[in-house]
Structure 1
Amino acid sequence: MELKSRNPLLNNKAFNAGTTTVYDADGRPVEIIDRENTMTVNGAVNKSILMLVLLVSSAFIVWQLFFAGYNVLPMMIGGAITSLIVYFIAIYKPAYTPYLVPAYAVLEGAFIGGLSAFFEARYPGLVMQAVAATFVTFLVCFLLYRFKVVKVTQQFRSVVIGATLAICTFYLFGWIMSIFGVQLFIYGNSLISIGFSVFVIVIAALNLFLDFDLIEEGARRRLPKYMEWFSAMALMITLVWLYIEFLKLLAKLSSRD
């Protein structure tokens, strides 16, 4: 059975432990598949739902604390930093993701809850609009992928990954410049800034197709069971990014009224 993949993530040796190779009497390799310990699409979906529940629950608690008058900024900063640390540990130690990913969801939820509360306090009704926009985008992308209207080819993957890395680099550059008191156009509410936000949202949405492909290909290749958690985390990261970008876009549009 050929297990090579064009997906760089799936070529990591740590992700190729779902099968065992033994040899028959003639010395020919025979692959034995442990079906009880391999990744499935349903397993990844169930873990994604669990992560969403944990994230929303954590976010709701911080949201409630904010509107009760508590200072949630330390929770936000702590959640953002620790979730980033957990993310990198999961990248290099994917076998630990069954323990790391639920913690990541809770920590990320603390950050999202605080961030959402700040936006809601300034622009009432904005959060529900961002949630609705994120859900609709996810549903549209899922249907396009499910009915093979959009196919994840190597060229598609390369373009999306390249654009995503470019956006991350630009955001990092903008953050560094802001330290020195220089504000780039992405922080304003000009038409150029709004156009940039729309572009970022499109790229974030395209990343959903890569997440769907990761889950489907991982199940097809019968990767280790813990890859269900890893795939769920990848999908959750994209959804959170998409939601934040919708928040920012809607805030820019509201500030122009």
Structure 2
Amino acid sequence: MRSSNPVFSRRGFSRDSGYAGFNAAPQAGGPVAAPGGNPYAGGNPYAQTTEPYAPPVGPPQAGRMTMDDVVMRTGMTLGTVVVGAAVAWIMQLPLGLAIGAALVAMVLALVQSFKRKPSPALILAYAAFEGLFLGALSGLINAKFEGAPMQAVLGTMAVFVGVLIAYKTRLIRVNRRFYRYVMGAAIGFLLLTAVNLLFAAFGGGDGLGFRSGGLGILFGVIGVILGACFLALDFKMVEDGIAYGAPREESWMAAFGLTMTLVWIYLELLRLISILRGD
């Protein structure tokens, strides 16, 4: 069951009159605002057509998002996930309650995704319930395949570091075309997952076979690759938010997106490892 979906977090950073999307063009010379205006509302660097693109960097302003803000909020959110997972693992939370926690986490993620502004309480609550689900699921899988959760954690860390290095060295270039391809692939992936679940629910077994055997391995690899692509989108959001002077509260949205993506990658790796060790 997929309880967190990085697709929900792709809405851009909020601004005074809406959202920073892919259709706005950056002002020449960087995000220079008119006197008294919002320096972040000047435009969106995704619309830039030249590559490689380095977003303009201006002097830090009070009340604007910084990298330290993003790191601190992400640490708090991931820390909440870890605490929730540890509680569920130690208490051996039943699978039924874990699925309930996953549903609550999904609802909270959807509510936050459609809010105009990030809510720290909602994000941390999502992280807590997501942690309960992950801890219970990881405990069950560890009982069958000892060490699989730790392998998935190490794999998630490796993917994160690898994508970060590739992004910083511009081996991965995030532009509008990249965004369209990733979103299209993600929608297709989720639709296939939903169809597979329906077949499994009404027909029994593994549905269309996307969760076991050779097809399951292929599907899992595609899921991890999609997660890596979403990480690149997250890094771009953070970079652009800092460069364009996003409000400091938007660091919570950056933490929310990163947490959802890392949970996605962990779940796909955990399932992939289970399939490989079960064959």
Letter in 1 for 2:257: A
Shift in Å, 1:96: 4.5
Instruction: String of CA shifts for 1:19-77, please: whole Å, max 9, x gaps.
Output: xxxxxxxxx941456933222222112111111111101101100111xxxx4224312
Q: Percent identity?
A: 27
CA distance in 1, matches of 2:121, 2:229: 28
The answer to whether the Cα contact below 8 Å between 1:94 and 1:226 also exists between their aligned partners in 2 is: no
- Corresponding residue number in structure 1 for 2:143: 121
Q: Does 1:209 align with 2:232?
A: yes
Please identify, of 238-247 and 94-103, the stretch whose mean Cα deviation from structure 2 is larger.
94-103
| Match among 2, 7, 12 for residue 9 of structure 1 | 12
What is the 5 A alignment of 1:92-241? 92-182=114-204, 183-189=207-213, 191-241=214-264
- Name the larger-Rg structure: 1
Please identify, of 36-45 and 126-135, the stretch whose mean Cα deviation from structure 2 is larger.
36-45
Letter in 1 for 2:66: T
The answer to whether the Cα contact below 8 Å between 2:65 and 2:249 also exists between their aligned partners in 1 is: yes
Q: Does 1:247 align with 2:250?
A: no
Indicate the structure with greater helix content: 1
Shift in Å, 1:94: 4.1
Shift in Å, 1:124: 0.6
Please list every run of at least 4 consecutive aligned residues from structure 1 whose deviation after the TM superposition is greater than 6 angstroms.
none
Distance of aligned partners of 1:238 and 1:63 in 2 relative to their CA distance in 1, 3 Å threshold: same
CA distance in 2, matches of 1:233, 1:88: 12
Q: Does 1:65 align with 2:91?
A: yes
Instruction: String of CA shifts for 1:163-198, please: whole Å, max 9, x gaps.
Output: 111111111111111121151111222x22212211
| Match among 20, 26, 47 for residue 73 of structure 2 | 47
Shift in Å, 1:207: 0.9
Instruction: String of CA shifts for 1:133-189, please: whole Å, max 9, x gaps.
Output: 110111010111122221101111111111111111111111111121151111222
Shift in Å, 1:98: 1.9
Letter in 1 for 2:77: M
Where structure 2 has 5 or more consecutive residues not aligned to the other structure, the ranges are 1-9, 21-32, 40-60
CA distance in 2, matches of 1:171, 1:118: 22
Q: Does 1:75 align with 2:97?
A: yes
The answer to whether the Cα contact below 8 Å between 1:186 and 1:196 also exists between their aligned partners in 2 is: yes
CA distance in 2, matches of 1:101, 1:242: 19
Instruction: String of CA shifts for 1:98-153, please: whole Å, max 9, x gaps.
Output: 22111111111011111111110111111111111110111010111122221101
The answer to whether the Cα contact below 8 Å between 2:220 and 2:271 also exists between their aligned partners in 1 is: yes
Length, aligned pairs only? 234
CA distance in 1, matches of 2:68, 2:34: 30
Q: Does 1:85 align with 2:107?
A: yes
Where structure 1 has 5 or more consecutive residues not aligned to the other structure, the ranges are 1-6, 17-27
- Corresponding residue number in structure 2 for 1:22: none
